[in-house]
Structure 1
Amino acid sequence: MEIITLGNDVLRQKALPIQDIDAQVKALAQEMIETMHRGRGIGLAGPQVGLLQRIFVVQIDGESPRVFINPSIIGTSPEISQYEEGCLSIPGLYADVTRPEKVTVQAWNERGRPFTLDAEGLLARVIQHEYDHLEGVLFIDRLSEPKRNRLLTLYDKKMRA
């Protein structure tokens, strides 16, 4: 399983719901976790590996990996914060992104069990970042146009070097 990068159209498409959470989906989740680890990331979404499926995986320092299938963000806090984000699909590019500090998400795990999670801090940020991927949104889309253009110019130069 390979991570696709900026310029691949899949990253800009909305992912489709997973119909059946079966052994194949469980294996997919495990492979995504392994791919995330190889990339030294803390989150990875289906579109980032070329799959237009509503699944992402997250692992924050010291915690077990979490699998989110067909997630919905059902609540966000009014409090917002800014924090530097990067993305395995845009290697070497980092920028401060403003997001709600807390989220409530509903999803299914790899065993087909529904759950609701109240997340805050880094976990909330990663969930929002990965959820954006399912909607065809990248973290650079949340930046001002001048800042995004400046970063994309740097990224293009880096990729050509």
Structure 2
Amino acid sequence: MILPIITYPNKQLKALSSEVTHFDERLHLFLDNMFETMISSNGIGLAAIQVANPIRALILCIPDEEGNQHKENLIEIINPVIHTPRGTVLYQEGCLSVPGFYEDVERYESLTLHYQNRHGETSILHATDLLAIAIQHEIDHLDGKLFIEKLSYNRRKKFEKEYKRALKEKK
């Protein structure tokens, strides 16, 4: 089932997500629905809060060299904690909750992630490049933050003006 994605400036996106404690069929169905939603929206990542569920869960599916996303490459991340971040990189990010807007954001270049899978089993993932960037972007959502909050004051003001204009044009 495709779930509705909450978009900026909806205040639900500012909520802090709660730790997942029940790894049951309900969670599994929700994660499956998140995958369908992300793929249908042409995203590479989706945090639970973006579909109105404030739990510490996110999914990622990085495209292959041809730009295709395969379910076997899906990573389901529950209760993530970043360890040993290293280096920085500038990357142009977009967001399903801020449609049509892209901006360069500085992130860690690599990191180690401790998390649980859909069954509650603990895992460790060493991530670099786009995977590391996407993990940080989605964890920001779990912490009630959007990538636009990382912009400079002037760029953020310009964004607000452009975004308001785009919303008016849609009506």
Q: Percent identity?
A: 37
TM-score w.r.t. length of structure 1: 0.97
Aligned to 2:47: 45
**Aligned pairs for 1:47-126 within 5 A:** 47-62=49-64, 64-77=73-86, 79-126=87-134
State the 4+ residue runs in structure 1 displaced beyond 6 angstroms.
none
Distance in 2, Cα, partners of 1:70 & 1:118: 16
| Residue-by-residue CA offset, 1:90-116 (whole Å, 9 max, x unaligned) | 000100000110011111111221101
Q: Secondary structure at the match of 1:86?
A: strand
CA distance in 1, matches of 2:120, 2:22: 8
TM-score when normalising by structure 2? 0.91
Further displaced range: 108-117 or 52-61: 108-117
State the one-letter code of the partner of 1:124: A
Counterpart residue type for residue 85 of structure 2: T
Counterpart CA distance in 1 for 2:83 and 2:25 is 28
Residues of 2 paired with 1:8 and 1:51: CA distance? 14
* Higher percent of residues as strand: 2
2:146 and 2:140 map into 1 onto residues whose CA distance is: 6
How many residues are treated as equivalent by the alignment?
160
Could you tell me how far apart the structure 2 residues matched to 1:109 and 1:5 are?
Answer: 27
Q: What stretches of structure 2 of length at least 5 have no aligned partner?
A: 65-69
CA distance in 2: counterparts of 1:4 and 1:50, whole angstroms: 7
